[in-house]
Amino acid sequence: MPKIATREAYGEALAELGEEIKDIVVLDADLSKSTKTSVFAKKFPERFFNMGIAEQNLMGTAAGLATCGKIPFASTFAIFATGRAFEQIRNSICYPNLNVKIAATHAGITVGEDGATHQSIEDIALMRALPNMTVINPADATETKKAVRAAAQMKGPVYLRLGRHPVETIFGEGYEFKPGKGVILREGRDVAIIATGVMVAEALKAAEILEKDGINAMVVNIHTIKPIDEEVILKAAECGAIVTAEEHSIIGGLGSAVAEVLSEKKPVPIKRIGIKDVFGMSGKPEELMKAYGLAAEDIAEAARTLIISKP
Amino acid sequence: MPVSKEKLEELTKAARRVRRHIIEMTAEAGSGHPGGSLSCADILVALYFHEMKIDPKNPNWPDRDRFVLSKGHAAPTLYAVLAEKGYFPKEELKTLRKINSILQGHPDMKKTPGVDMTTGSLGQGLSAANGMALAGKLDGKSYRVYVLLGDGELEEGQVWEAAMAAAHYKLDNLTAFVDHNGLQIDGPINQVMSPEIIQDKFRAFGWHVIDVDGHDFEDILQAIEEAKSTKGRPTVIVARTVKGKGVPYMENQVDWHGKAPSREQAEEALKALEG
Ligand SMILES: Cc1ncc(C[n+]2csc(CCOP(=O)(O)OP(=O)(O)O)c2C)c(N)n1
Ligand SMILES: [Mg+2]
């Protein structure tokens, strides 16, 4: 399957949906070529608003449009969407529960060469903490397209976390996407790897590595981090050991969300793969994934150590 | 279009009732912001009692004019005006800031009928108003959008992002008011962080600017007419006001920004607002 960036899929999906859903309007902050909202802008110039380099006003304007029945998709880089405009998202969008979709691209360290200032590794934590917000982190192009459609069709604020770097397409067209429902991609019994976003592909690779060691790993894709699918997590916990994997800080993201469920409902040993409370740096995406311990081998190694400590 | 004597009389009376509500509400709540609520009372009365196309029985009417209270701490004024217009019973005013009330400390569009936008965090309202005005243009609707900002609020960077955008998108269906009372919390705006010269700043951002006496209905209504006939750019009405207006011991007193009058103080204020 070809490698496609989730932002590319977003751009295409949005332009497609724009045809069907006339209430969709799109706002960007001088990054439409990068976020791929330019595809929509070209097709529907009257429904596209470039707000300039002014993210706080972008979120507030999206909120105002939503009060009048529009379905605004607000796009910029994840770091600016969720960082610069956090309080606008909180007070002008989430508190009044307005129908704004924040589709932020360039999330995570796979932004690459731009370095730490542009690598958003706290956005899931920030968005997950907000009442009314749905947080979705698609794994590939197929899932992104389905998630964009689902986001447009559901009521209320949604945070869509998208990447810059091309990633393998794991899912075929027949793949079924249900917001809030985790997907068991591979059954297993020794350990469960729960992954989100670009880490889903790494988790599948890790399971293959473990297979060679005679370890049978379950792989779960959690595309919707909020509301989280407790049922699938508890099912995974039956393996007796869980590794979480995300391209995000280990603080506040998927690992934390899974740990919250487990510690209250079914405590089992857990290891969190993610960025270990440090900032990123410049480099090629693949180099950075290795440097920060996010490669398939890192997941596999975490699974091996964890299995030893299984009660 | 000159305003009739009767109309002026009606507005003056309504404003007095609204000011009395503000005093009663904040005294009953034991907290709140009387100073900035009193300074903008006449502007809200002019809008809701004369200008705005609204239907209190149908608060979400899609074609209604919109109002965003960007300086959300003046919520008592908005609630008093909405109650007077019949959006909800006046008895509700007593519940301001109390547990389970529809009248939150700052405006909440999901809890209070007639509130068009949730506000309270300063600097965000103009952006939301821009969004409403853009939606109106997109849908070919003729409704107008009004927004009220504090003069201290103008220190927020987002206001100027939004000011730039409103001019860029030629939002002539949008009118902003600045409640220019010269005071914020820590003191006079010119000592804390001067946003002056406000008129020049908005002009430089591409806005049509009108100066008015914010306590003179003729002045305010005339400015609104001028804003409506101004095409191709948004209008800002800079309203010279007195913080605490109508209650002598509160007027121009920075201390009355964010504290409620005691029962005795309230009685004295209500006496001053009689007639
Ligand atoms: C973002 C934000 N910062 C601080 C505050 C706290 N605050 C409430 S009112 C106020 C002063 C506002 O002054 P001004 O805009 O002049 O209002 P007015 O004089 O009309 O009451 C401040 C700092 C707030 N509500 N929002
Ligand atoms: Mg002031």
ipTM computed for the complex: 0.89
Contact residues of ligand 1, CB 6 A cut-off: B 35-36, 39, 71, 73, 120-123, 150-153, 179, 181, 183-185, 243, 257
Mean pLDDT of chain A: 97
DSSP state of B233: S
- Which of B185, B238, B251, when mutated, tests ligand 1's pocket best, judged by the most ligand atoms within 8 Å of its CB? B185
Q: What is the pLDDT of residue A310?
A: 79
Sign (positive/negative) of CA torsion B100, B103, B105, B106? Answer: positive
* C-alpha triplet A290, A194, A80: angle, nearest 5°: 65
Nearest to B130 among A52, A61, A95 (CB): A61
Report the gap between the CA of B178 and the closest CA in chain A (Å).
Answer: 18
Binary contact (A60, B131; C-beta < 8 A): yes
Tell me the C-alpha to C-alpha distance, in Å, between residue B211 and each of B35, B62, B190, B199, B220. Answer: 21, 31, 19, 8, 9
Whose C-alpha lies nearest to ligand 1, atom 22?
B185
Q: What is the pLDDT of residue A2?
A: 80
Task: Tell me: pLDDT of B259 over 70.
Answer: yes
- CB-count burial class (<10 Å; 0-12, 13-18, 19+) for A172: exposed
Nearest to A62 among B131, B138, B139 (CB): B131
Q: What is the pLDDT of residue A255?
A: 98
Q: What is the pLDDT of residue B1?
A: 63
Going from the Cα of B147 to the center of ligand 2, the distance in angstroms, rounded, reads 15
Residues A77-111 pLDDT 10s? 999 999 999 999 999 999 999 999 999 999 999 99
Contact A254, A235 (CB under 8 A): no
Which bound ligand lies closest to the C-alpha atom of B73? 1
d(CA B250, CA A39): 56
Residue (of A131, A134, A28, A16) closest to A72 by Cα position: A28
Nearest to A65 among B109, B131, B162 (CB): B131
Compute the average pLDDT of residues A19-31: 97
Binary contact (A68, B136; C-beta < 8 A): yes
Task: State percent of chain A over pLDDT 90.
Answer: 97
A12 flagged as catalytic: no
Going from the Cα of B73 to the center of ligand 1, the distance in angstroms, rounded, reads 7
Q: Which chain A residues touch B133 with a CB distance below 8 Å?
A: 64
Domains (range + CATH), chain A: 3-168 (3.40.50.970), 183-302 (3.40.50.920)
Compute the average pLDDT of residues B8-26: 98
Residue (of B55, B95, B39, B25) closest to B239 by Cα position: B39
DSSP state of A120: B
Q: What is the pLDDT of residue A62?
A: 98
Domain B5-272: give its CATH code. Answer: 3.40.50.970
Task: Tell me: pLDDT of A294 over 70.
Answer: yes
Contact A270, A258 (CB under 8 A): yes
Minimum CA–CA partner of B168 in chain A: A51
Mean pLDDT of chain B: 97
- CB-count burial class (<10 Å; 0-12, 13-18, 19+) for A308: exposed
